[in-house]
Amino acid sequence: EVQLVESGGGLVEPGRSLRLSCTTSGFTFGDYAMSWFRQAPGKGLEWVGFIRSKPYGGTTEEAASVKGRFTISRDDSKSIAYLQMNSLKTEDTAVYYCTRYSGVVPAARFDSWGQGTLVTVAS
Amino acid sequence: DIVLTQSPGTMSLSPGERATLSCRASQSVSSSYLAWYQQKPGQAPRLLIYGASSRATGIPDRFSGSGSGTDFTLTISRLEPEDFAVYYCQQYDSSPWTFGQGTKVEIK
């Protein structure tokens, strides 16, 4: 069974840093791209960033709203994806979800989601 | 950025009725990169449809997707009690990947 479990959320002051982890199991992590999304309280979904699998360069993309502050990385030996969040702002308050991306066109899809971890940025 | 506009914002229906949800894109989206999700309170989104019309694993056949270009539709043929939720469309054809604002399907 494919499982993704986010951790590392919590209450943090503006300007501080936090690192989220997405621990996975049930599939060959290194074969898949991973992505992070977030959802502010009572709001819709927003894409945060994406990391390709190593065979596709392991490169990353980030949304403009977090570019330069957030960094996505992966440790294929541990089957974990990370979201390093620096210079946090109050508007970064949200539930953060990690997802698996199955990228074979025409069947490309974000097919598995974690349960999410809440990040609250407040003083 | 591609803006996805979902309509209606809320629809009030009874179990057994048909629901038709619309997602309109500000520019053309490849059908291969259009998805629909269901989200219930306190839960993560659940993938329903990808590639505009392919059902994800385990999704009942009362859910169907259609459309191309800038107009996409999610249809629930006969609403079951567990289908009352918020539905989002998403495009991942062009970065930044974007979502519609959601359609809430509530019990009438």
Determine the average pLDDT of the residues in B7-34. 97
CA of A39 vs chain B CAs: smallest distance (Å): 10
3-state SS record for chain B: CCCEEEECCEEEECCCCCEEEEEEEEEEECHHHEEEEEECCCCCCEEEEECCCEECCCCCCCEEEEEEEEEEEEEECCCCHHHCCEEEEEECCCCCCEECCCEEEEEC
* pLDDT surpasses 80 at A103: no
State whether residue A88 is helix, strand or coil: coil
Closest-CA distance, B48 to chain A, in angstroms, reads: 9
Q: Are A70 and A62 in contact (CB under 8 A)?
A: yes
Q: How far is A114 from chain B (nearest CA, A)?
A: 7
Query: What is residue A123's predicted lDDT score, i.e. its pLDDT?
Result: 95
pLDDT at B61: 97
Beta carbons of A97 and A7 less than 8 angstroms apart: no
Residue A112 confidence (pLDDT): 96
A interface with B, Cβ–Cβ < 8 A, is 44-47, 50, 61, 63-64, 97, 105-111, 113-116
Segment A75-84 shows an average pLDDT of: 98
Amino acid at A67: K
Is residue B82 within 8 Å of A39, Cβ to Cβ? no
Q: Say how far apart CA A103 and CA B103 lie, in whole Å.
A: 27
pLDDT of residue B57: 94
- Predicted confidence (pLDDT) at residue A122 exceeds the cutoff of 90: yes
- Whether a cis peptide bond, with omega within 30° of 0, leads into B81 is no
Residue B81's pLDDT band, with cuts at 50, 70 and 90, is very high
Query: Are B50 and A61 inside 8 Å of each other by CB?
Result: no
Distance CA A120, CA B9 (A): 27
Confidence at A107, pLDDT banded by 50, 70, 90: confident
Gap between the Cα atoms of B1 and B29, Å rounded: 12
Q: Give the C-alpha separation, B70 to B82, whole Å.
A: 29
Strand order in the sheet with B4-7: B4-7, B19-29, B63-76
Amino acid B107 reads I
Residue B92 contacts A, CB cutoff 8 Å: yes
Mean pLDDT value across residues B71-84:
97
Q: Tell me, what DSSP letter sits at residue A67?
A: T
Interval A67-78 mean pLDDT? 98
Q: In this predicted structure, what is the pLDDT of residue A106?
A: 72
pLDDT at A104 over 90: no
Q: What is the pLDDT of residue A83?
A: 98
Encode pLDDT of B29-64 as tens digits: 999 999 999 999 999 999 999 999 999 999 999 999
User: pLDDT at position A105, please?
Assistant: 73
With an 8 Å Cβ cutoff, is B90 touching chain A?
A: yes
Percent of chain B with pLDDT over 90: 99
Please tell me which residue of chain A has the smallest CA distance to B57.
A111
Q: Kindly state whether B2 is in contact with chain A, defined as any CB-CB distance less than 8 angstroms.
A: no
Please state the separation of Cα A67 from the chain's center in Å.
13
Selected residue of A27, A45, A48, A105 to mutate for chain B interface (largest B Cβ count, 10 A):
A45
Q: State both tokens at A4.
A: 């993704």
